Amino acid sequence: MDFTTRCIHGAANNTHTTGAVSVPIYQSATFAHPGIGQSSGYDYSRLQNPTREHLEKIIANLEEGVDAIAFSTGMAAITALMELFSIGDHIIASEDLYGGTVRLFDNINKKNGLLFDYLDTSDLSKLRGLIRKETKAIYIETPTNPMMQVTDIQAVAALAKEYNLLVIVDNTFLTPYFQRPLTLGADIVIHSGTKYLSGHNDTLAGFLVTGRTDLSEKLRYIYKTTGACLSPFDSWLLIRGIKTLAIRMERQEENAKKVAAFLNSHEKVKKVYFIGLETHPGYEISKKQASGFGSMISIEVDTEATAKQVLERVNLILFAESLGGTETLMTYPMVQTHADVPIEDRLARGINDRLLRMSVGLENTEDLIEDLKQALS
């Protein structure tokens, strides 16, 4: 079945008999038992809810995994994931991660005894050099947020297999429409469902997806114990959003290519980070492991004053955090998404006061370019 069709019909709807085309919202915290020792299959919504279960089956199907677990936020998903590890365990992570992930690792997980090293995970020789007996996992974003570094998932998975390490991939930027890390050897995939999967900037969600039954069992136990489950209504919003995932991703990528080309030719834009540009160092790897480039663009402008001017002058484009929705958003990473990353680390990674990040939406491309032209003038 084609991916587009699976977005709409990817999980058989066996949760009701009314014939409703839209999956019902089972807004119930608890479910009655038919008798002692008997269950309808649903007992308490922290464990499972019919609406959420339907969503999880769709996501597992799209990522080609055996299980997907829906959380209240992307950070809740990553927080639960870290409970797989014990005091003294070592994790190697991409150096250019979403700032909230770095904040969790450095301020919560380190306090609880986990050890982290950060590096450009596209450099396999350096990655191998950091592996030690305490190492348990390699955690990557590809492309990264906000510098758009690309890591060869298949190569990292082959390296990890030598040392019996987990490979964890945050696939938020490309979604399973463009990239399916489990098929490339990853063990666990992460999504901020708030972003492209939802697609409408109207709800928060997170997912962990795995192709391994042993990991599914461990994660399900952590999930029911820690309790950050996605609500029935938010699950329904995600189901609705995913129905248009394929067509949104195609249009947003098409828009992003045109916007990136315009920005790449503007005198005040000194660098464009978009993996769809042939000059991007990760372009060939992206073509190998993904079927598209997505719609995330970061740019470095000539001065801090220009960066602030753009943020204050854009009209159609919204100066707001988040990404992946129908509206085009622009973010200032150094004071928003990465504000809690130490300044020396931010600057070393290129996250300076001239860097802007764009999530290109579904608007008419010429309208977006006109807005950027006047904001940069």
Q: What confidence category does residue 345 fall into, taking pLDDT thresholds of 50, 70 and 90?
A: confident
Average of pLDDT values for 157-166? Answer: 98
Residue 14 clears pLDDT 70, i.e. is over it: no
E strand or H helix that includes residue 225? helix 213-226
Interatomic CA distance for residues 356 and 14, integer angstroms: 45
pLDDT score of 15: 54
Q: What confidence category does residue 115 fall into, taking pLDDT thresholds of 50, 70 and 90?
A: very high
Which of the residues are catalytic? 46, 98, 170, 195
**Which percentage of the chain shows pLDDT scores above 70?**
99
pLDDT for 117-148, tens place per residue?
999 999 999 999 999 999 999 999 999 999 99
Select the more confidently predicted residue: 99 or 13: 99
pLDDT for 172-204, tens place per residue?
999 999 999 999 999 999 999 999 999 999 999
Q: Tokens for 100, please give them.
A: 């909230």
- Domains identified in the chain and CATH numbers: 3-242 (3.40.640.10), 246-376 (3.90.1150.10)
pLDDT for 16-48, tens place per residue?
678 888 999 999 999 999 999 899 999 999 999
pLDDT, mean over the chain: 95
pLDDT for 228-271, tens place per residue?
999 999 999 999 999 999 999 999 999 999 999 999 999 999 99
Whether the CA torsion 221, 180, 185, 154 is positive or negative: it is: negative
Q: Which residue has the tokens 């949760």?
A: 15
Average of pLDDT values for 327-339? Answer: 91
Distances (CA, A) of 192 to 41, 58, 171: 28, 15, 8
Q: Which of 294, 307, 301 is nearest to 336 (CA)?
A: 307
Strands 188-192, 166-170: parallel, antiparallel or unpaired by DSSP?
parallel
Average of pLDDT values for 1-8? Answer: 92
pLDDT score of 12: 67
SS3 for 307-359, per residue?
HHHHHHHCCCCEECCCCCCCCCEEECCCCCCCCCCCHHHHHHCCCCCCEEEEE
Interatomic CA distance for residues 93 and 95, integer angstroms: 6
Average of pLDDT values for 283-300? Answer: 98
Q: What confidence category does residue 156 fall into, taking pLDDT thresholds of 50, 70 and 90?
A: very high
